[in-house]
Amino acid sequence: MGIVTLTIDNREVKAEEGMTVLEAARGAGIEIPTLCWHEKLKPYTVCRICVVDVDARGWTSLDTACSRPVKEGLVVRTRSAKIDRIRKTILELLLAHAPDSPKLREYASEYGADRDRFEKDPSFCIDCGLCVRYCAEVKKKNAVGFVDRGIRREICFVPEVALRECNGCKECFPLCPTSYLQAAFVLVQALTAPAQPEKP
Amino acid sequence: MDIKGIDKIIEKHGGVAGLLIQVLLEIQGENHWLPKEALERVSERLRVPMSRIQHIATFYKAFSLVPKGRHEVHVCTGTSCHVRGASRILDAVKDHTGIEPGETDVDSKFSVETVNCLGCCALGPLLVVNGKTHGRLSPAEASEVMKKYG
């Protein structure tokens, strides 16, 4: 593995070939916000919050830091007026779905996002896919998956698998940036293993 | 549809996980819907996790996880059919069947769906029953067509 040198926020950063811009930046102590990224999972690039300005030999583009591989001579800017504006809009759109998510609110205060900018559509899930991918890629249990598509897309446990696997695991619970996952699990639990009726 | 029928379809496609959608389409075609037992069998044989099958079966509108009526009625509400009066065709169909788009009646006789374009706009407004296309209809003619199916 060769070592490449790139510039992140006017600083020279050395990184191993095959690393992503995000990993290189974090290695150098430069923070880039992420929502759908997890160290054990493949980049998913759906939340777009890690968007950065990349200049590759004069060709500038916006790209997701979590998926962009490092390259010799790359010039990356992680903060600019344009990027802050993009991140602010992304956060405002996500906050319409999950207005009380601690992680979203933390980023919102940093980027000045107004959580009441868009009409509330509380689906509570921001479709980051952390639970779905963690269950599939790390635990290989596939107890939770996506259903439907577009604006109706949501996560859904497979009751039979969840009943067998989830009680002893629940490793996806702390990953969820909102609290929708726990709610979905409690729901499927109630539907598959109804509690004994209370005596009158 | 029994397990044997499903196995036959799976074997026809060589039991390859990559042909999952083809297998599901064929089951849907023969059975008109995808029962849970069928999906479980497919999951087992193709070694595709149930969560993935669930995702695919809910993603495509071609699949149905609930039983469909004997006659599948599609009313095109695409732009061309819309300007040629698709909403009145749909009203005629709703009057005849007594159900809204996306529903199946209690006798499992009809399932009604709206579709967004069938690619033959010159024939609009379109009504498709069991795959047979009826074009350039007036609402009265649409009612006549529906009567043929009971």
> pLDDT digits over A111-121, tens only?
999 989 999 98
Residues 116-145 (A) with a CB less than 8 A from some CB of B: 132, 135-136, 142-145
Within-domain flag for A199: no
Task: Verify that B85 and B135 share a domain, yes or no.
Answer: yes
Q: Going along chain A, which residue ranges are E strands?
A: 3-8, 11-16, 51-56, 59-64, 75-77, 144-147, 154-157
Same domain (yes/no): B20, B76: no
B62: exposed, middle or buried (Cβ count in 10 Å: 0-12, 13-18, 19+) = exposed
Instruction: Tell whether B66 is covered by a domain.
Output: no
Q: Is B47 on the interface with A (CB under 8 A)?
A: no
Q: What is the pLDDT of residue A187?
A: 87
Q: With beta carbons less than 8 A apart as the criterion, state whether A31 and A46 touch.
A: no
Reported as a pLDDT band with limits 50, 70 and 90, residue B87 is very high
Q: How many CB pairs under 8 A join A and B?
A: 35
Sheet containing strand B132-134, strands side by side: B110-115, B71-76, B127-129, B132-134
Contact A156 B54 (CB under 8 A): yes
> In chain B, what residues touch A172 (CB-CB under 8 Å)?
none
pLDDT above 80 for B54? yes
A156 lies in which domain range? 130-192
**Confidence (pLDDT) at A200:** 58
CB of B33 closer than 8 Å to CB of B67: yes
Give A68-99 pLDDT, tens digit per residue: 999 999 999 999 999 999 999 999 999 999 99
- Residues B128 and B76 grouped into a single domain: yes
Q: Is ipTM strictly over 0.90?
A: no
Q: What pLDDT does A192 receive?
A: 78
Q: Both B84 and B133 in a single domain?
A: yes
What pLDDT is stored for residue B122 in this prediction?
Answer: 93
Domain annotation covers residue B46: yes
Which residue, of A64, A89, A122, is where some domain finishes?
Answer: A122
Question: pLDDT value at position A198?
Answer: 61
Say whether both B55 and B84 belong to one domain. no
d(CA B143, CA B82): 18
Q: How confident is the model at residue B150, as a pLDDT?
A: 77
- Residues B81, B43 share a domain: no
For the beta carbon of residue B32, count every other beta carbon within 10 angstroms: 16
| Residue B11 belongs to some domain of the structure | yes
Q: Do B144 and B77 belong to one domain?
A: yes
Domain count of the fold of chain A:
3
Nearest to B51 among A145, A148, A149 (CB): A145
User: Same domain for A30 and A84?
Assistant: no
Q: Show the tokens assigned to B70.
A: 């004997």
User: What would the mean pLDDT of A21-39 be, rounded to a whole number?
Assistant: 95
Q: Report the number of distinct structural domains present in chain B.
A: 2
Which pLDDT does position B104 carry in this prediction?
92
Does residue B51 belong to the interface with chain A, where contact is any CB pair within 8 Å? yes
CA atoms of A172 and B53, how far apart (whole Å): 21
* Structural domain harbouring B7: 3-59
Q: What is the CATH number of the domain that holds B92?
A: 3.40.30.10
pLDDT (average), residues B78-97: 94
Cα B88 to Cα B126: distance, rounded to the nearest angstrom = 11
Do residue A48 and residue A72 come from a single domain? yes
Residues A62 and A95 in one domain: no
